[in-house]
Amino acid sequence: MDQKLFDLVYESVVKREPTYEGVYYTGVRTTKIVCRPTCRARTPHATNVTFYHSLEAALRAGFRPCKRCKPEANGALRPDAALAAQVDAMIEDRYNEKLTLATLAASLAISPYHLQRIYKQVTGHSPAEQTERVRLKHAQRRLLESDATIAEIGMSVGYNGPSHFTTWFGRRMGISPTEYRNGARGVDSYDSQ
Ligand SMILES: [Zn+2]
């Protein structure tokens, strides 16, 4: 976004004018909260603001919807999709931790059952599958782009113990991490689904 447009949108935020309601969302980087441009909360400093074209983009970047202006309500993005985007952001952020359905659900203050059902409805797969996809993506990149050992890479994507990592990687790709690093492509079992 160029400075001129930024100034224009920011001015509407300062004045709480609805001009850009539904067009831009105000991400406040200091609080990691995303608002409607008309939010009644204290006006954030321009230097702390990033405008997003969609609420989903802001949620994927790790922002949480403001409890006051509720940008997820009555918008183009249904609450279910907003929830799924929040889960994706959390997984992208914490994929190297022991990330269970219960952990994710607790962070969102909803029941694990509810989370599993809604997430699957929106994305077609479970949060556990998404966690594995993200882990696989990072493992692949590190195998090709870093000099880290197999054990280190396994650890960096949440697998303690190289044999556990190698077994998992092999099941997903049909080849070992070392073979992948040496140029074999394998078949990503997620892409081929
Ligand atoms: Zn707000």
pLDDT in tens, 83-141: 888 888 899 889 999 889 999 999 888 899 999 998 998 888 999 999 999 999 999 99
3-class SS shares of the chain: helix, strand, coil, % to 5: 55, 5, 40
Rounded distance from Cα 90 to ligand 1 centre (Å): 21
Q: pLDDT tier at 142 (50, 70, 90 boundaries)?
A: very high
Rounded distance from Cα 128 to ligand 1 centre (Å): 31
Query: The domain at 3-65 falls in which architecture?
Result: 3-Layer(aba) Sandwich (3.40)
Rounded distance from Cα 41 to ligand 1 centre (Å): 6
pLDDT in tens, 119-131: 998 888 999 999 9
Rounded distance from Cα 22 to ligand 1 centre (Å): 13
The protein residues having their C-beta less than 5 angstroms from ligand 1 (an ion) are 35, 39, 41, 66, 68-69
Q: pLDDT tier at 190 (50, 70, 90 boundaries)?
A: low
Amino acid at 45: H
Rounded distance from Cα 127 to ligand 1 centre (Å): 28
What is the structure's pLDDT at 116?
A: 95
Q: Mean pLDDT across the stretch 16-39? A: 89
Nearest CA-CA partner of 186 in 170, 169, 174: 174
Rounded distance from Cα 183 to ligand 1 centre (Å): 49
DSSP secondary-structure letter at 47?
A: G
CATH classification number, 80-193, choose in 3.40.50.300, 1.10.1060.10, 2.30.30.90, 1.10.10.60:
1.10.10.60
What residue has token string 């004045």? 15
Rounded distance from Cα 25 to ligand 1 centre (Å): 10
Nearest CA-CA partner of 85 in 118, 133, 51, 128: 118
What is the structure's pLDDT at 5?
A: 83
Domain ranges of the chain: 3-65, 80-193
